[in-house]
Amino acid sequence: MAKLLTSAQMREADRRTIEELGLPGVVLMENAGAQVVKVLKQRLPDWRKVPILVLAGHGNNGGDGFVIARRLLQSGARVSVFLFGQCDRLQGDALTHFQVFEGCGGLVREVGIATDLQRFDQLLSHAGVVVDAVFGTGLTRPVEGVALQLFDKINRAAKPLLAVDMPSGVSADTGQILGIALQAQWTVTFAAEKIGHRTYPGAALCGEVIRVDIGIPARYLDIPEHGIARNLPDDLQVPQRHPDSHKGSFGHLLIWAGSLGKEGAAVLTALGALRTGPGLVTVATPANARAALLGQLTEAMSLPLPEDAEGVAVASALLESGIAADALAIGPGLGRGAALTEAILTLLSRWDLPAVLDADALNAVAAAGHRLAGISRGRQSPLILTPHPGEFSRLLSGAISAAAVQSDRLGYALQLAHDWQVWLVLKGAGTVIAAPDGRAWINETGHHGLAAGGSGDLLTGIIAGLLTQGWPVESALRAGVWMHGAAADAEGVGAGLLASDLLPHLRRLRRQWG
């Protein structure tokens, strides 16, 4: 299932399974524990030979932990269990499974007791694997106190760690790390993936995410009004390319990019677009940058722009060019100048075309957010902003730092998309595509090799190229972001990736849609 649920939605699905279907919670917990043990044995074939340390919390996640510990014990494993809290606070299904575990000869130690803490250090150092069943999706506040100290110790011990449902400390709803979180090698999640599994920074702590069935019916997990999903390219609405097409069938993209010394940005934007199949591409660039550009771009046309006093091309030349564009891409390598803001806002008001703003175009409109939002609301065509976290921070006039944006990527992207009524692509690991109506997709392709100059220019071109061909905005953004990352994956993970290395892969990936 591509949808990513919140903890409240998951609790509701649990409740309906228990109350409407009549499957008792204690059985769901047994199923959950059994599935985790199955995965653990698959992933760790020598599980019998290594000491296993199970960490449990007070709530239902801890209850799953007691089932796991009991089943491992009964299979002949060497298991130690630590409770992050007091045994006399346990209740409900977790208490039942605690009692069953003890009834089977299991021992639960409390981390609040000094002698047990010393034992904790010993057992941690000998453990072959750690099972984290402390908070799961039940985390409601930052981790503090003894848990904070022990989580840090556990992470430093760097043992293979299997997280039950969600690494403790990661918010299931936002992917934020609340205080500190455990680093998992595997996360076994129940029934459906949660937002935190795919949203950074938390996603980086999940390791391999393995979804298992515990008896919750699919109909309780299908929440039509909920719009947060993984960005998988399998359900996109895409226009057909007919055999009797000509170049006029696939639209004309106008790119306004480049400046003296930043010609490459314009070239990469154009090449990214051309690899997606628009009929025509014209690159408008200042006259003094055009010569460098021409040598590298054979298939695109160019439009020399006059320069104003600051070396920035003016909008009137574009408006008077007579180009019947179908989409606009504005920003890569434009440089900075006071005249840019007015020029971009004028273009967006006068040309109601799908438009992608990136890089210097984002910097130019940063101080004019309210006006941009007003223009966007008055347009029929989608307006797309593609910031990285630093540009995102600047769009908000620095009121939110790039680090803060990174701590809640999904939340901030959804907020700005709603407030400005734009489509937002917040770039970075797990690129977030946020729609003005509250839907969002979290991308999974790509790697750190993309964090280099030129990569974003290429993405702008890819998205704009698809829009030019009449792709619906959702499809253009989702396919564009997915392809950009998948092309990087095809080149292999690691540094030294050139944006231009992606170009041959883009054509291959694009062909799945005709």
Ligand X SMILES: NC(=O)c1ccc[n+]([C@@H]2O[C@H](COP(=O)([O-])OP(=O)(O)OC[C@H]3O[C@@H](n4cnc5c(N)ncnc54)[C@H](OP(=O)(O)O)[C@@H]3O)[C@@H](O)[C@H]2O)c1
3-state secondary structure of 17: helix
115 lies in the site for ligand X, by CB under 6 A? no
Query: What gap in Å lies between CA 380 and CA 243, rounded to an integer?
Result: 30
Which DSSP letter does residue 448 get?
G
For residue 121, the minimal CB distance to ligand X (Å) is: 21
When asked if residue 57 is in the footprint of ligand X (CB under 6 A), the reply is yes
Query: Of these, 4, 9, 58, 345, which contacts ligand X (CB under 6 A)?
Result: 58
Interatomic CA distance for residues 167 and 161, integer angstroms? 9
DSSP 229: E
The CB-nearest residue to ligand X is 59
The residues in 176-205 that bind ligand X, with binding defined as CB under 6 A, are none
Residues that contact ligand X, how many (by CB under 6 A): 26
Which of 4, 32, 270, 315 forms a contact with ligand X (CB under 6 A)? 32
Tokens at 257, concatenated: 């990019």
Find the part of the chain contacting ligand X (CB under 6 A) among 40-48, 162-170, 262-270, 497-505: 162-170
Give the ranges where 46-165 is alpha helix by DSSP (H).
60-74, 92-103, 114-126, 145-157
Residue 417's nearest CA partner among 447, 398, 441 is 441
State yes or no: residue 35 binds ligand X (CB under 6 A): no
Residue 7 interacting with ligand X (CB under 6 A): yes
Q: How many Å apart are CA 199 and CA 412, to the nearest integer?
A: 12
User: CB under 6 A: which stretch of 37-45, 163-171, 270-278, 447-455 binds ligand X?
Assistant: 163-171
Please report whether residue 25 would count as binding ligand X according to CB under 6 A.
yes
Q: What does DSSP say about strands 252-256 and 280-286: parallel, antiparallel, or unpaired?
A: parallel
> Is residue 141 at the binding interface for ligand X, with CB under 6 A as the rule?
yes
Number of neighbouring beta carbons within 10 Å of residue 512: 11
End-to-end CA separation in angstroms for the chain: 26
User: Does the footprint of ligand X cover residue 233 (CB under 6 A)?
Assistant: no
Stretch that binds ligand X, among 37-45, 60-68, 271-279, 400-408 (CB under 6 A): 60-68
Dist CA 251 CA 282 (whole Å): 11
Please tell me whether residue 135 binds ligand X under the rule CB under 6 A.
yes
Q: Does 173 bind ligand X (CB under 6 A)?
A: no
Q: Where would I find the H helices in 107-144?
A: 114-126
Residue 386 near ligand X by CB under 6 A: no
Residue owning tokens 């696939």? 250
Q: Does 131 bind ligand X (CB under 6 A)?
A: no
Contact pick of 106, 138, 196, 461 for ligand X (by CB under 6 A): 138
Shortest distance (Å) from residue 43 CB to ligand X? 18
Task: Say whether residue 28 binds ligand X (CB under 6 A).
Answer: yes
Contact 255, 280 (CB under 8 A): no
To the nearest whole angstrom, how small is the minimum distance from the Cβ of residue 138 to ligand X?
3
Q: Which residues bind ligand X (CB under 6 A)?
A: 7, 11, 14, 25, 28-29, 32, 57-61, 64, 93, 135-143, 164-166
